[in-house]
Amino acid sequence: MSKRSRGFTLLEMAVTATVLLILASAVVPMAKNGVRRQKELELQRALREIRSAIDDYKLKAEQQKIKAPPVENNGYPESLDVLVEGAQTSKASMKIRFLRRIPLDPFTGKPDWGLRSITDDPGSSSWSGGNVYDVHSQSTGTGSNGVPYREW
């Protein structure tokens, strides 16, 4: 074997580096979209979990299995903390908890959710207080479906 045929030429190294660069440039956007999609799935799960807990609270209040909230609340909890702390049952020593903890919003990283009362306008981003009818993300971003996270 001659000295010339033992190593790679500069041209072969440049071609290899170019191919790797092209492959890497295709993978990075896919990875970013994957992370975003994962956060969107986490947001959907968290919203579903909180909304199910609110619905369960209302159902138990209507069935009189828990101490009824004030009449003006229409059977909805006063805050999300009530879902975690639990509501008193007809037996004085028992409480029913609806959530273990308030889930984190994956886009803000905090358990800080926008709240809506039954008297609030559906498009409103402010909470008038009194009861919690619905929740939404505080994130200012827009989902991959083109809908802002606040409207999910």
* Tens of pLDDT, residues 24-83: 888 887 777 888 899 999 999 999 999 999 999 999 999 888 887 888 888 899 999 999
Give the whole-angstrom CA distance, residue 35 versus residue 39.
6
Domain membership of residue 101 (yes or no) is: yes
Rounded to the nearest integer, the mean pLDDT of the chain is 87
**Residue bearing the bigger pLDDT, 123 or 100:** 100
How far from 61 is each of 55, 70, 75, 88, CA to CA, in Å? 10, 10, 6, 10
> Whole-angstrom distance between the N-terminal and C-terminal Cα of the chain?
68
pLDDT, position 84: 93
Mean pLDDT of 104-109: 92
Paired strand residues for 6: none
* Token pair listed for 151: 């409207």
Quick: pLDDT tens for 70-92.
Answer: 888 888 999 999 999 988 887 77
Bridge-based pairing state of the strands 95-96 and 87-88: antiparallel
Domain membership of residue 1 (yes or no) is: no
**Which residues span the domain enclosing 70?**
10-151
Domain membership of residue 139 (yes or no) is: yes
CA-based Rg of the chain, rounded to a whole angstrom?
26
What pLDDT band is residue 5 in, cutting at 50, 70 and 90? low
Which of 95-99, 102-106, 117-121 has the lowest average pLDDT?
117-121
**How many domains would you assign to the chain?**
1
Which of 53, 54, 50 lies closest to 105, judged by CA? 50
Give the whole-angstrom CA distance, residue 119 versus residue 50.
19
Residues 76 and 87: beta-carbon distance below 8 Å: no
